[in-house]
């Protein structure tokens, strides 16, 4: 069996107000907007990509900010928390910063020997900071207010809330090259063996979990990373052979995508590293102009008229 999956590529969530989302993630949380484009299926809505300097896989959190969509609710069959790795010693900085910006935070919790510091974004998306017990050597994006010794490094893990463990665990271990490495109560940890960062999926088994409402403040899907098209298409064959329905390859301009829904209901994506976010903008200018999929370029004027103006 080929081992082609390299942990997480990106996670996509839903927001309500574009300006508020942009302000929080770039000005408060200190991420870089590496791409400002539109939803392929709804070009009247932005698609924001936030990450590190280059938009490296494993750092990219993307949003569909649908204006006025209303607050959602996390629940079963959904990715219900995203944890970002931060440098050791940065915890007090983030505690003070969140206090200054009225960010809602929760009590720290310990999981698998690591301390998690939970907080909510303005739409109520569940996030947390964690200092990994195994050092994360990635370099975060820095801003005038968030220096390198505090900057987030990218994803540490995400949590899926499910009613049953085994069907989803089998997909992770048999198809996506994860291995169960730990268990604490009803939380199970799976780790991808091919890469050292953004490589952990926790499954929280909750038979009483409520139904999710997938609108603002919830995650839409999680994407796993493969190196290139050849690895992606080989994995597609493996997923199909396991009896799961999966889409044809879709060109998302900055990566190529496949989508399938795993048995627990979470929408999974397989995304390639190529061609990258600098395919249509130089590295120094990532995220500074509105980039449209080629099928919408001829409608730029009318699209720009309906999109909120970012300040």
The pLDDT score that the predictor gives to residue 1 is 44
Q: CA 120, CA 65: separation in Å to the nearest integer?
A: 16
Please give the model's pTM, rounded to 2 decimal places: 0.97
Helix, strand, coil percent values for the chain (each to nearest 5): 20, 40, 40
Read out DSSP for 70-82? Answer: -B-B--BSEEEEE
What architecture is domain 5-306?
Roll (3.10)
Query: Closest by alpha carbon to 231, among 274, 201, 197?
Result: 274
Which tokens in the block code for residue 103?
């960010």
Q: CA 186, CA 199: separation in Å to the nearest integer?
A: 20
Domain map of the chain by residue range? Answer: 5-306
Q: How far is CA 274 from CA 11, 182, 256, in A?
A: 17, 33, 7
Collapse the DSSP code of 55 into the 3-class scheme (helix H, G, I; strand E, B; otherwise coil) and give the result: coil
Query: Closest by alpha carbon to 175, among 224, 126, 113?
Result: 224
Q: CA 306, CA 59: separation in Å to the nearest integer?
A: 29
Collapse the DSSP code of 232 into the 3-class scheme (helix H, G, I; strand E, B; otherwise coil) and give the result: helix
Q: CA 7, CA 18: separation in Å to the nearest integer?
A: 28
Collapse the DSSP code of 287 into the 3-class scheme (helix H, G, I; strand E, B; otherwise coil) and give the result: coil
Q: CA 234, CA 260: separation in Å to the nearest integer?
A: 15
Element (H, E) at 303: helix 300-306
Collapse the DSSP code of 53 into the 3-class scheme (helix H, G, I; strand E, B; otherwise coil) and give the result: coil
Query: Rounded to the nearest 5°, which phi and psi values hold at 21?
Result: -65, -45
| CA triple 58-59-62, angle to 5 deg | 110
DSSP state, 290?
Answer: B
The pLDDT score that the predictor gives to residue 2 is 55
Tens of pLDDT, residue by residue, the chain (311 residues): 455 999 999 999 999 999 999 999 999 999 999 999 999 999 999 999 999 999 999 999 999 999 999 999 999 999 999 999 999 999 999 999 999 999 999 999 999 999 999 999 999 999 999 999 999 999 999 999 999 999 999 999 999 999 999 999 999 999 999 999 999 999 999 999 999 999 999 999 998 999 999 999 999 999 999 999 999 999 999 999 999 999 999 999 999 999 999 999 999 999 999 999 999 999 999 999 999 999 999 999 999 999 999 99
Q: CA 224, CA 235: separation in Å to the nearest integer?
A: 11
End-to-end Cα, the chain, rounded Å = 49
């Amino acid at each position: 069996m080929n081992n082609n999956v390299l942990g997480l590529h990106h996670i996509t969530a839903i927001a309500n107000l574009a300006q508020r989302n942009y302000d929080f993630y770039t000005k408060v949380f200190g991420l870089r907007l590496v791409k400002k484009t539109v939803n392929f299926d709804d070009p009247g809505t932005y698609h924001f990509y936030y990450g590190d300097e280059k938009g490296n896989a494993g750092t990219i959190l993307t949003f569909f900010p649908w204006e006025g969509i209303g607050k959602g609710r996390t629940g079963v069959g959904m990715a219900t928390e995203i944890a970002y790795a931060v440098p050791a010693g940065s915890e007090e900085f983030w505690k003070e910063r969140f206090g200054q910006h009225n960010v809602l935070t929760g009590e720290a919790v310990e999981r698998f020997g690591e301390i998690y510091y939970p907080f909510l974004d303005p739409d109520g998306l569940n996030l947390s900071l964690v200092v990994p017990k195994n050092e994360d050597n990635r370099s975060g994006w820095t801003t005038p207010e968030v220096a390198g010794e505090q900057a987030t490094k990218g994803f540490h893990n995400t949590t899926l809330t499910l009613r049953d463990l085994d069907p989803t665990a089998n997909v992770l271990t048999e198809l996506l090259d994860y291995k169960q490495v730990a268990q604490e109560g009803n939380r199970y940890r799976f780790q991808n063996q091919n890469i050292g960062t953004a490589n952990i999926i926790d499954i929280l088994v909750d038979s009483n979990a409520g139904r999710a409402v997938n609108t603002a403040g919830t995650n839409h899907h999680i994407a796993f990373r493969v190196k290139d098209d050849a690895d992606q298409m080989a994995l597609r064959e493996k997923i199909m052979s396991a009896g799961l329905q999966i889409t044809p390859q879709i060109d998302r301009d900055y990566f190529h995508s496949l989508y399938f829904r795993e048995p627990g209901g979470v929408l999974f994506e397989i995304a390639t590293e190529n061609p990258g976010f600098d395919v249509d903008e130089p590295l120094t200018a990532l995220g500074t102009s509105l980039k449209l999929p080629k099928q919408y370029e001829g409608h730029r004027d009318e699209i720009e008229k309906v999109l909120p103006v970012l300040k």
